[in-house]
Chains A and B, each alone.
Chain A
Amino acid sequence: MQHMCLTPEKIQEYLDNALPHQEKQDVSAHLASCSQCHSEAQEYSRLFSAATSSAKKQMQNAYSRASVDAIMHRLPGARTADQFLNSDKPVPAKFPFKLNWFWIPTMAVVILLIIFNHTKSVPDSELPKMPVPQFSLLENSVEVVIGEPPPHARTIIKPGIEVKLDSKTMILVGVAKHKFKFTPGSVFVINNNEVELTSGDAEFVMVGDHENFKVKTPLVTVVPIGTSFGVAVKSWGVKVDLKKGRVDLESFTGNHQNLETGQTLYVGADGNFSADIPQPPAHTSPDNSSRQQPANSQPTGTTDSPAKLIDSF
């Protein structure tokens, strides 16, 4: 047969997941039966993989704290976005009038102290590279517990590259004597001395030196101090439970909290800590969001997950 049954455009739309459901099924069935189209699709699939790899690499440009701080400092603070858009003049500070004369010299002293004690700021491009701490996650090894991790995470986790585990895969990552367990469905990135857990569940056992090690989630940063702890990023917030030792938590709003052994804390989207699962906002978006669980639903814990079958620590 000389002619391809599927056009290159159709194959690309299929690989782009841009076809309507029925058409996608038809194409899928055809690819299963036509070796020529199947081969063509494989070639495009290789191209797509190279494109994805290239694009992800280009997006890896990590933010500098200074840049993010600069953005946050330029935001109007307590003002709503509406006020920011519509106001012609800055919102006046709300100091009590009679305290103004107290605060002005006080602030002046504080500012002077900051200027004298702060290191000289340099442009982002000249920021010295952070010295590699003695504790580093770069020398790690992967042990596959079940399933199949993505190709780039089968033996070692490379820094800065996102790892997405499917629903049937669990891995252990060893760094010196420390052990991390990433459960099915978790998504994370390992950097020099921190783990960014975007979603899913992970457990961490720290043994020995782990200076500057952190676990970052969208809502809270966990700083362990000689500990074994678990972090779960859910749709309603983040859950941190401490098995041994102590951790310091800092939410994205700057709230701090210490966690004691055996304690579990939850962090909501507003950055507040609580002993209970956070409630979803009262006025949820009109979109489907039936995914927001009611208050009494159980968190997706590990009661029935394969994690319980594994006692590796």
Chain B
Amino acid sequence: MTETSVKDIEQQLIAEVQRGNSQAFRPLVEKYWGLVNSIISKYIKCRETADDICQEAFIAAFAHLASYRNTCRFSPWLVKIAVNKALEHIRRESRAVFVDFDLDFVISSVPTPEDAFEQKDFFDQCLTGLPEHLQIMFILRHGADLSYEEMAQVFDVPVGTVKSLMFRIRGQLKTLIESRDRDHKVLSSEGLE
């Protein structure tokens, strides 16, 4: 159901806003705050500033709702605005914006299996070692269920680049997790003896 019903309600709310009922925007803000905040927080570590940029992103989304067409989903459209707002901010702050999609440099910074005991912690640690845009890709793919094509639109890169990045990172993570699990099994069996 549910996904279509939610989408229908969402489209109705957007239509309401486009007709001039700005109050209809509130449920959209409440629904997507977590997603937008998680993305912006990857670029902006200060929580207060991240919250401010979140607000800017939603206000910009409202301002541009006239140009939104429901031929594409709302969440990728909103995410693109959020990413742009975050990048605008850090450029204003004169920080270098690292958007290099070179993986080899990145993979060397992934922690070793010994660095974390809990697999969940280990996985989270692996992710936090990645550049922001790759962490965001994981959130978008696995948290917000964006397709490869939608993610490519968010970052203005070819679909092939998104796929290549995701496949390689996942392959590395899988190898690390398997290696970690093997090591832990060995440690456990030795402990029993």
CA distance in complex: A236, B4 (Å): 11
Q: Are B174 and A47 in contact (CB under 8 A)?
A: yes
Q: Are B144 and A218 in contact (CB under 8 A)?
A: no
Q: Which residues of B contact A44 (CB under 8 A)?
A: 170, 174
Residue in contact with B2 in the complex, picked from A9, A123, A187, A292, CB distance below 8 Å: A187
Which stretch of B90-98, B104-112, B119-127, B182-190 is in the interface? B119-127
- How far is the CB of B13 from the nearest CB of chain A, in Å? 6
Q: A58-B139, A200-B1 are in contact. Are A125 and B48 (CB under 8 A)?
A: yes
What sequence of 0s and 1s flags, for each residue 53-75 of chain A, a beta carbon within 8 Å of any chain B beta carbon?
Answer: 11110111111000110111011
| A-B Cβ contacts below 8 A, count | 190
Q: Are A291 and B8 in contact (CB under 8 A)?
A: yes
Count residues of B near A (Cβ-Cβ below 8 Å): 68
Residue in contact with A53 in the complex, picked from B54, B120, B170, CB distance below 8 Å: B120
CA distance in complex: A79, B147 (Å): 34
Q: Are B37 and A51 in contact (CB under 8 A)?
A: no
From DSSP, what is the main secondary structure of chain B's interface residues? helix
CA distance in complex: A58, B173 (Å): 18
Q: A43-B174, A54-B127, A269-B9 are in contact. Are A199 and B1 (CB under 8 A)?
A: yes
Q: Are A48 and B142 in contact (CB under 8 A)?
A: yes
CA distance in complex: A101, B26 (Å): 33
Whether B177 is near chain A, meaning CB under 8 Å from some CB there, is yes
Which stretch of A141-149, A169-177, A281-289 is in the interface? A281-289
Whether A262 is near chain B, meaning CB under 8 Å from some CB there, is no
Whether A185 is near chain B, meaning CB under 8 Å from some CB there, is yes
Residue in contact with A269 in the complex, picked from B1, B13, B123, B178, CB distance below 8 Å: B13
Q: Which residues of A contact B59 (CB under 8 A)?
A: 71, 74-75
Whether A228 is near chain B, meaning CB under 8 Å from some CB there, is no
Instruction: Kindly report which residue of chain B lies nearest to residue A10, judged by CB atoms.
Output: B167
Q: Are B170 and A68 in contact (CB under 8 A)?
A: no
CA distance in complex: A54, B134 (Å): 14
Q: Are A81 and B65 in contact (CB under 8 A)?
A: yes
Q: Which of B1-31 contact A (CB under 8 A)?
A: 1-2, 4-6, 8-9, 11-13, 15-27, 29-31
Q: A200-B1, A269-B9 are in contact. Are A58 and B22 (CB under 8 A)?
A: no
Q: Are A9 and B163 in contact (CB under 8 A)?
A: yes
CA distance in complex: A43, B174 (Å): 7
Whether A234 is near chain B, meaning CB under 8 Å from some CB there, is yes
Q: A63-B34, A198-B2 are in contact. Are A68 and B8 (CB under 8 A)?
A: no
Q: Are A50 and B38 in contact (CB under 8 A)?
A: no
Residue in contact with B124 in the complex, picked from A54, A74, A280, CB distance below 8 Å: A54
Q: Which of A141-184 contact B (CB under 8 A)?
A: 164, 167
Count residues of A near B (Cβ-Cβ below 8 Å): 71
- How far is the CB of A243 from the nearest CB of chain B, in Å? 24
Q: Are A55 and B178 in contact (CB under 8 A)?
A: no
Q: A67-B55, A72-B23, A75-B22 are in contact. Are A54 and B123 (CB under 8 A)?
A: yes
Q: Are A67 and B142 in contact (CB under 8 A)?
A: no
Q: Are A253 and B24 in contact (CB under 8 A)?
A: yes
Whether A271 is near chain B, meaning CB under 8 Å from some CB there, is yes
Q: A51-B142, A54-B124, A287-B70 are in contact. Are A60 and B24 (CB under 8 A)?
A: no
Whether A192 is near chain B, meaning CB under 8 Å from some CB there, is no
Q: A68-B33, A70-B55, A81-B63 are in contact. Are A16 and B141 (CB under 8 A)?
A: yes
Q: Are B33 and A63 in contact (CB under 8 A)?
A: yes
Whether A208 is near chain B, meaning CB under 8 Å from some CB there, is no
Q: A55-B138, A74-B59, A287-B70 are in contact. Are A218 and B22 (CB under 8 A)?
A: no
List residues of A whose CB falls within 8 A of some B CB: 8-9, 12-13, 16, 18, 43-44, 46-48, 50-56, 58-63, 67-68, 70-72, 74-82, 84-85, 123-125, 164, 167, 185-187, 198-200, 218-219, 233-237, 252-254, 269-271, 280-281, 285, 287, 289, 291-292
Task: Kindly list the 6 A-B residue pairs having the minimum CB-CB distance in the complex, ordered from nearest.
Answer: A55-B143, A269-B12, A63-B33, A81-B66, A51-B142, A235-B8
List residues of B whose CB falls within 8 A of some A CB: 1-2, 4-6, 8-9, 11-13, 15-27, 29-31, 33-35, 37-38, 41, 47-48, 51, 54-55, 58-59, 62-66, 70-71, 119-120, 123-124, 127, 138-139, 141-144, 147-148, 163, 166-167, 170-171, 173-174, 177-178
27 contacts between A and B (CB under 8 A): A9-B167, A16-B147, A54-B120, A59-B139, A60-B34, A61-B34, A63-B34, A71-B55, A74-B59, A85-B66, A123-B48, A124-B51, A187-B6, A198-B6, A200-B2, A219-B27, A235-B5, A235-B8, A235-B9, A269-B15, A269-B16, A270-B16, A271-B21, A287-B70, A287-B71, A289-B8, A291-B8
